């Protein structure tokens, strides 16, 4: 460190250092009013702190904690993914920190330690597998960005098998009679209309909430799907994937419910004093509250059919009813807006097995000769 006296009579304390990445010489300086032993000590401490802040030297991987890696990962995510995706990943990473410990060193992590922490949490296998998925994504990102030296750990972290309760495929959709029973018992007209619409269209709930009246093209007999509503961040986004941008056919039943919803929204607008371009809205003409609908749907489904369902269950119900009516799985996949769905395939197999069983039962009673 050296000292330079300025024209104003003050003293500039200067230090030189070599940047880690560029190899170039750089300077930092701080100006003080005096040149005494005390100010020199203060200047030295300040300059060292400034060099540390400006120096590009990355933290050694052996010193990197889980909290450090999560922080870097989320900073990157915030710049590269949708707000809804960032929010989901933020909470998943927070759960990982609670499960594994903020200060655990990434270089010391082992599959055994991770499994023990996960199992000790007492969480359901499905939840643990969600945590596992995020942990693998975090470690893989860390490896690709030189924060994790060895990717071998990723291959060792295996999925958790559900040994206590495996969700039945039947619970992922409603039978036709169950759907009819549920709809008939729903007392709030708007939620009943929305339930019918979701079951007849197969739309994701966010896609339905984001619809404008103009998206319902009665002349071409299609609904244009080109946006989705993010309920957590209360914004309209582009759809989940490119395949989600699609036109779905307005079959007669769906056309009728669309007209009924548009009429209902207009009448409610006249009564409540609002005007809206939305296909379905709240009583202020804005986007409906997804969480209110989900709460109502859950409460009524438990009461009426004996188990809780969500809006997404209605999407699977749509797929199952189309399958049962002979529509092929490729057509259904295009209508739902995805290239591949393991759930749809599971439902397809289950419905096919049920139809085969029904056919066999009918044939069993037939006497031909």
Query: Could you tell me the two tokens for 209?
Result: 């909430």
Question: Beta strand pairing status for 228-230 and 25-32?
Answer: unpaired
Strand (E) or helix (H) holding 12 = strand 11-18
3-state class of 145 per DSSP? coil
Phi then psi for residue 324, to 5 deg, are -65, -25
Are the C-beta atoms of 313 and 173 separated by less than 8 Å? yes
Query: What is residue 179's predicted lDDT score, i.e. its pLDDT?
Result: 95
42: buried, middle or exposed (CB in 10 Å: 19+, 13-18, 0-12)? Answer: middle
Q: Give the pLDDT confidence of 87-146 residue by residue, as tens digits.
A: 889 999 999 999 999 999 999 999 999 999 999 998 888 889 999 999 999 999 999 998
pLDDT of residue 23: 78
| Rounded Cα gap, residues 85 and 71, in angstroms | 16
Average pLDDT per block of 10 residues along the chain, 369 residues long: 88 87 84 90 88 68 87 92 88 94 92 93 87 94 90 90 53 87 96 97 96 97 94 83 90 97 96 94 94 95 94 91 85 83 68 69 73
Residue indicated by tokens 């004093």: 273
Contact 109/157 with Cβ under 8 angstroms? Answer: no
Q: What pTM, to 2 d.p., does this model score?
A: 0.65
Rounded to whole angstroms, the Cα distance separating 67 from 103 reads 6
Contact 206, 310 (CB under 8 A): no
Distance CA 277, CA 285 (A): 8
CB 142 within 8 A of CB 320: no
The residues near 122 (Cβ < 8 Å, ≥ 6 apart) are: none
- In the sheet with 25-32, reading across from the earlier edge strand, the strands are 2-5, 11-18, 25-32
By residue count, the chain amounts to 369
Give the model's pLDDT for residue 7. 87
Per-residue pLDDT tens over the stretch 226-245: 999 988 788 898 886 788 89
DSSP state of 244: G
- Select from 190, 189, 238, 249 the least CA-distant residue to 216: 249
**What span, in angstroms and rounded, lies between the C-alpha atoms of 17 and 27?**
6
CB atoms within 10 A of CB 312: 15
Confidence at residue 15, expressed as pLDDT on a 0 to 100 scale: 92
Report the DSSP pairing between strands 11-18 and 222-225. Answer: unpaired
Q: What is the pLDDT of residue 166?
A: 39
CA distance 17 to 65: 27
Distance in angstroms (rounded) separating the CA atoms of residues 228 and 244: 10
Which pair of tokens denotes residue 208? 């339905």
What's the pLDDT score for residue 57?
54
């Amino acid at each position: 460190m050296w000292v330079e006296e300025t024209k104003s009579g003050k003293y500039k304390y200067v230090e030189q250092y070599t940047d880690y990445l560029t190899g170039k010489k750089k300077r930092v300086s701080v100006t003080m009013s005096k040149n005494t032993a005390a100010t020199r000590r203060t200047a030295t401490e300040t300059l060292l702190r400034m060099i540390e802040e400006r120096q590009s030297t990355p933290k050694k991987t052996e010193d990197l904690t889980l909290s450090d890696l999560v922080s870097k990962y989320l900073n990157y995510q915030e710049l590269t993914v949708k707000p809804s995706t960032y929010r989901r990943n933020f909470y998943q990473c927070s759960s990982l920190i609670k499960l594994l410990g903020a200060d655990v060193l990434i270089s010391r992590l082992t599959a055994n330690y991770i499994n023990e922490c996960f199992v000790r949490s007492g969480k359901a296998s499905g939840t643990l597998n969600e945590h596992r998925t995020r942990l693998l994504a975090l470690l893989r990102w860390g490896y690709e960005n030189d924060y994790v030296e060895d990717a071998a750990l990723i291959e060792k972290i295996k999925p958790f098998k559900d040994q206590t309760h495996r969700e039945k495929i039947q619970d992922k959709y409603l039978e036709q009679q169950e759907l009819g029973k549920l709809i008939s018992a729903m007392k709030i007209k708007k939620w009943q209309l929305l339930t019918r619409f979701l079951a007849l269209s197969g739309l994701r709930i966010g896609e339905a909430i984001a619809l404008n009246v103009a998206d319902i093209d009665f002349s071409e007999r299609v609904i244009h799907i080109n946006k989705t509503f993010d309920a957590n961040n209360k914004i309209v986004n582009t759809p989940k994937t490119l395949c989600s941008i699609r036109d779905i056919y307005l079959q007669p039943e769906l056309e009728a419910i669309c007209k009924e919803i548009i009429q209902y929204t207009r009448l409610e607008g006249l009564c409540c004093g609002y005007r809206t371009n939305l296909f379905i809205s709240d009583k202020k003409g804005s986007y409906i509250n997804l969480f209110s609908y989900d709460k109502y749907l859950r409460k009524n489904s438990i009461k009426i059919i004996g188990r809780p369902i969500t809006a997404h269950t209605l999407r699977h119900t749509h797929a199952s009813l189309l399958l049962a009516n002979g529509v092929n799985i490729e057509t259904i996949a295009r209508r739902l807006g995805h290239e591949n769905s393991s759930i749809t395939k599971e439902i397809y197999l289950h419905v096919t097995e049920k139809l085969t069983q029904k056919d066999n039962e009918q044939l069993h009673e037939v006497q031909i000769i």
